[in-house]
C-alpha cells in the first residue's frame, strides 16, 4: 500500500519507512549491503509530483491558423518541435534522476541512525508508523463519484443529479462534477477519501448502509440512508 501511494503521509515519514525496510532487509548500514531500487522503497509518484507540470499548448483561434500549423508540422517546423520535445523529456529525466538520488541519500542517512535495531523491531516500527493513518487496514478502491440521488420513502426517489452533487455531510461536502476518490472498505465502516488526504471526506458505518451492488462491470451503487451514491470504477 505504501509504494502504491495508498498511505497518505509526509515525505519525511515515507523516507523513514524506507529506512526501516532497509534495516529489516539488510540489518545495519553497510556499503556492501545490496540496495533495492528506489521504486521498491519509495512511492514513485512522489518524485514525479516534484517535476514541473507540462505546459499546455495555446489553442489556435481560427481554422486558417490550424491549417497552417498542420502544414508546418510536416516540415522543418515539425522537426524543430520534435527536437524541443526530446530535449524537454531529457531534462525531465535528468531532473527525476537528481530527485531520486537526493531521496535515496536521505533514506540512507535515516538508515544509518537505525544501527543496532533488530529485524523484528524494525518491522514493528514500520507497522506502527503505517497504523497512524486512520484508514489503515481498509481495502481501497479507485473510484469516480459520478452522481448522487436523494430517495424519498421506499420508492425510487428523485432522478440522479450529475451536475451539482448533493453534499455527503455538512462538515465535508463533495463538490460538483465527477470526482476521483478512494473508496475504503474497513472492518466497521465504508469511507470516502480524497486521494492523498489522510482524513476521510465522510464515513458510513454499516448500520447506515441499506444496500449496495454492481449494476454492470464498471458501476457500483451504495445506498446510505436517504441517498444513493453512484461510482464508476474498473475494480468492480
Could you please report the per-residue DSSP string of 110-149? HHHTTTT--HHHHHHHHHHHHHTSTTTTPEEEEEEEEEEE
| CA separation for the pair 148, 146 (Å, rounded) | 7
Which alpha helices (H) appear in the chain, and where do they start and end? Answer: 11-26, 44-50, 63-73, 76-112, 119-131
Portion of the chain with pLDDT greater than 90, in percent: 33
How much is the pLDDT for 179? 82
SS3 8: coil
Just give the CATH number of 139-153+176-232.
2.30.29.30
How much is the pLDDT for 20? 97
How much is the pLDDT for 72? 54
Residue 121: how many other CB atoms lie within 10 Å: 14
How much is the pLDDT for 164? 38
How much is the pLDDT for 157? 52
Query: And the C-alpha cell for 184?
Result: 475504503
2-52+86-132 and 139-153+176-232 in the same fold? no
How much is the pLDDT for 171? 42
Sequence spans of domains, the chain? 2-52+86-132, 139-153+176-232
Say what the pTM is.
0.69
How much is the pLDDT for 166? 43
How much is the pLDDT for 5? 85
Residues of the chain scoring pLDDT < 50 = 60, 155, 160-176
* C-beta separation of 176 from 165 below 8 A: yes
- Domain 2-52+86-132 class in CATH: mainly alpha
Q: Is the dihedral of CA 142, 1, 102, 34 positive or negative?
A: negative
Amino acid at each position: 500500500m505504501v509504494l502504491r501511494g495508498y498511505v497518505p503521509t509526509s515525505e519525511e515519514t515515507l523516507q523513514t519507512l524506507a529506512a526501516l525496510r532497509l534495516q529489516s532487509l539488510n540489518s545495519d548500514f553497510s556499503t556492501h549491503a545490496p540496495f533495492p531500487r528506489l521504486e521498491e522503497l519509495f512511492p514513485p509518484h512522489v518524485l514525479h509530483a516534484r517535476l514541473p507540470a507540462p505546459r499546455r499548448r495555446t489553442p489556435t483561434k481560427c481554422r486558417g491558423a490550424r491549417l497552417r500549423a498542420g502544414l508546418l508540422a510536416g516540415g522543418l517546423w515539425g522537426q524543430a518541435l520534435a527536437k524541443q520535445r526530446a530535449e524537454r523529456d531529457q531534462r525531465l529525466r535528468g531532473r527525476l534522476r537528481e530527485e531520486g538520488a537526493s531521496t535515496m541519500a536521505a533514506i540512507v542517512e535515516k538508515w544509518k541512525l537505525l544501527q543496532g535495531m533488530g529485524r523484528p523491531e524494525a518491522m514493528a516500527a514500520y507497522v506502527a508508523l503505517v497504523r497512524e493513518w486512520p484508514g489503515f487496514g481498509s481495502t481501497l478502491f479507485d473510484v469516480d463519484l459520478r452522481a448522487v440521488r436523494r430517495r424519498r420513502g421506499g420508492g425510487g426517489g428523485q432522478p440522479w443529479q450529475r451536475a451539482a452533487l448533493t453534499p455527503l455531510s455538512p462538515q465535508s461536502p463533495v463538490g460538483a462534477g465527477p470526482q476521483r476518490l478512494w473508496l475504503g472498505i474497513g472492518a466497521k465502516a465504508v469511507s470516502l477519501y480524497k486521494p492523498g488526504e489522510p482524513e476521510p471526506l465522510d464515513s458510513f458505518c454499516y448500520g447506515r448502509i441499506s444496500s449496495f451492488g454492481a449494476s454492470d462491470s464498471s458501476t457500483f451503487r451504495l445506498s446510505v440512508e436517504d441517498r444513493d451514491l453512484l461510482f464508476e470504477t474498473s475494480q468492480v
